[in-house]
Amino acid sequence: MRGLVAKFAPVHQRLVGEARRWLRKRLPTAHEVVYEYRDCFVISCSPNERGYEAVLAIRASADGVRLYFNRGKGLPDPAKLLRGAGAQTRWIPLKGASTLARPEVASLVDEVIARNRVPFARTGRGPVVIRSVSARQRRRRRPAAAADARRARERRRR
């Protein structure tokens, strides 16, 4: 895990460590399912080894560190902290440990944990499970706009 974190700026390394410790205090029995991608990594806090059942996740990339709320679309957010427009996931940027100390963030975390469908174990400590996704990723497809432009050029040639 240290090798994954070491790829990023020292500021982000410290923030990932602080966020992990903070989440461990909130969810001590959670499985930390770690996914390594080409340009980032994600640490999901899940009640089991299946990352898709995770409640919260930390995503670190060169752009910064984010706290993700899986199934966060319907969360009450009077402070308007949540970002993202996906079908279910929302996130907040972590600028520092002070972001985690905000009562609005704690309220969002409490709410997403309360809405969780799969219960966490009551005792024990969850393991760290590392999964590499980057080795299995296919070469990226061309963006749709580039493919459309290519087709248009081919039609003009005819």
Q: Where are the domains of the chain?
A: 2-157
What single DSSP character describes residue 139?
A: P
pLDDT of residue 104: 96
What are the per-10-residue average pLDDT scores of the chain (158 residues)?
67 89 93 88 90 91 92 91 93 93 94 90 86 55 64 74
pLDDT of residue 6: 66
Q: Cα dist. 132→19, 37, 87, 142 in Å?
A: 21, 7, 25, 23
Residue 153: CA atoms inside 13 Å, Cβ hemisphere, count?
6
Q: Where are the beta strands (DSSP E) in 47-150?
A: 56-61, 64-69, 90-94, 128-132
Handedness of CA 3, 54, 101, 37 (dihedral sign): positive
pLDDT of residue 148: 72
Which token pair is 1? Answer: 């895990």
| pLDDT tens-place string over residues 87-110 | 999 999 999 889 999 999 999 999
pLDDT of residue 75: 93
pLDDT of residue 137: 47
pLDDT of residue 79: 93
